[in-house]
Amino acid sequence: MDLLLIAVILLIVLIIVIILLVFWGIYNRIIRTENQIDNAWAQIDVQMKRRADLIPNLMETVRGYMKHERGTMESVTNARAAIMSAKTPQETNDASNILTGALKTLFAVAENYPDLKANQNFLQLQDELTHTEDKIAYSRQHYNDSVLVYNNTIETFPGNIFANWMGRKARQMLQVPEASKEVPKVSF
């Protein structure tokens, strides 16, 4: 009888330990996947800052050549400023998409100015800005991937139970720019 009792107690203890380990695992997974989203956002932020830093230089370079394109140039500077006042990731991303569109237009218009296109400084900036846009696009993709993993974790069983208890809700993905649904590919 004693042996049976001991066996049952050990079994119960084992089950409790396993349950605790599972809880530990789920809790950590929720925290980790959430941190992944924040980390992904930080990357987007780095790239957007890089882009913002390049723009004044770009404006200086094109100013002399594109005297009659003030509208186009203003859209870029306005869009750049608008990003500063955005608060949530969604707002910031939307403002960023507007800037992406404004820059695309600027570069398209620049095609009509052969002198500008011969300018080494301009070419370098165009190269770097296009590359930075690509990097923003990939960072955003990673952000959305992270949101997907996180949402899956907190919406499927048993994560959803924990999520409710921890007060976590599903996150929103970032929108891709309207004009181009695919990442702008640079062709050399």
Partner 1 sequence: MAEQPRLVEDHIRKNKRDTVLICMFMVVLLFSVIFAIGLVLNAPPIVTMIIALPVSLFYIFITYSFSVSSVIAAAGARPANPQNREEKLLIYKVEEMSLAAGLPTPKVYVQDSHDINAFATGHKPDDAIICATAGAIQKLNTEQLEGVIGHEMSHIKNRDILVMTVTVGVVGAIALLAEIAIRLLFFGGGSRGNRRDSGGAIILVIAIIFIILAPIFSRLTYLAISRKREYLADADGAYLTRNPEGLAQALEKIKADFPDDPKGSKTVAPLYIANPFKRALRDSIWSTHPPIDERIRRLRSM
Where do contacts with partner 1 occur on this chain (CB under 8 A)?
36, 39-40, 43, 47, 131, 134-135, 138-139, 141-142, 145-146, 148, 182-183, 185-188
Query: Which CB atom, from 28 or from 164, has the smaller least distance to partner 1?
Result: 28
Q: How far is the CB of 62 from partner 1 (least distance, A)?
A: 23
Q: Considering beta carbons, is residue 50 or 104 the nearer one to partner 1?
A: 50
Which of 47, 94, 99, 53 is closest to 72 using CA atoms? 99
For residue 1, the 8-state DSSP code is -
Cβ at position 89, least distance to partner 1 in Å: 16
**82 alpha carbon, distance to own chain's centre:** 18
Q: Which residue, 13 or 186, is less far from partner 1 as judged by CB?
A: 186
Q: Which is nearer to partner 1, 66 or 154 (CB)?
A: 154
3-state secondary structure of 119: coil
167 φ/ψ sector (left φ>0, alpha ψ -120 to 50, else beta): left
Instruction: State which residue, 115 or 182, has the beta carbon closest to partner 1.
Output: 182
Which amino acid, 29? R
List all residues 6 or more positions away from 112 whose beta carbon is below 8 Å from its beta carbon. Answer: none
Shortest CB 138 distance to partner 1, Å: 4
In the complex, the smallest distance separating the C-beta of residue 186 from partner 1, rounded to whole angstroms, is 6
- Measuring CA to CA, how many Å separate 184 from each of 60, 130, 132, 134? 25, 8, 11, 6
Task: Give the shortest CB-99-to-partner 1 separation in angstroms.
Answer: 18
